[in-house]
Structure 1
């Protein structure tokens, strides 16, 4: 049956597994195929044209595996390429954007922080969203170097802690009460971030919202799988050990050049 085709998920590396985990938890009967384009990580410092080209390459790979829906589990790829993907291909795409709305809506200090890549913060889509919340002061910070450290398995390194401290200090001084994580890699840094932030500052990422949206699109447009207990499949084009470590060696990793 058509409904039993897999859900495809791609990211510029291993970070989108934070999105995959939320989808897998909410929709355990759905077959998922995850694509880590680690060879080209990070996307955040590439041009819009490069990001679109890489997103098309990833989409073509997942379409070759007969995916019924594609989740762009990368803020940079969503904000720079999802409109082009939706125009080019006849299947649903679900994107991920920084969760500005819940942070701005609930902020009592009317000051929030956003930690994201250069590509996301510079994108037209991101800036259109920011314009909707002119009553809120938004402290933007590019997370230079964070994705590279995560991709190299250095989540708990001293260098990581020092970078996070330098990025978060101005936000703390500005009296933020919400921190928005604007990159799917960054949820893996939440334990380190919590050690730096005062306890009253809440951290928001987009994983749960993306999973709910995936569920909604399946219900309204695509249909749910009727086959249970199919194992997720993971592909990477670089450094399979880091992907395996982040998944706690629970799943088979296929290394393939794409």
Structure 2
């Protein structure tokens, strides 16, 4: 009786051990299967991840190149605006200071001022243009604002002269045989656009490098100085001037 009971207990223990062993083997098989599945997944996703990383790298590189191009364009615009206005007001102030008579004459003919107040206003004009040149060198934003104010005042005055029909020299660069016309108003409107472009570019790019300024120095200086004689240049190339010659 006792031997039968012991045999039954031994069979139960063996059965439990076999069940435990089977469970452990099953867990091991499942673990290996899961490991192989994950390895297979990783093998499939690795090229995709590499492709995604390469695309992301190329995108950032292209974005960086576009930012550099935009910054360079803003630098070029800033340098051109600054140097062209420096040339414009520098040459204008020098030509007026050398001989104030044409400007004084222009003021007395277009404003209700006698000779002495007209001369004081002419001197103030030269001083304001010189201030614009210095400000453009030292504090470019202030220089652009001063330039914008001066050009706006000159444009309003020249528009009034054109509307009144008074035939007088502009005296923009000293003595000139050219009388005030719509060309002078258009020229000033273009120069106002240059000043506004300088102010706008400074809001994105506060300063232009020396290399950029040297690159545009020649064209900018020629543009600024040439705008003072725009009326003479347009008349020189006009068919009427060619026939009279």
Regarding TM over 0.5, the answer is no
TM-score grouping bracket, smaller chain normalisation = under 0.3
TM-score, with structure 2 as normaliser: 0.25
Greater per-residue helix proportion: 2
TM-score, with structure 1 as normaliser: 0.24
Of structures 1 and 2, the larger Rg is shown by: 2
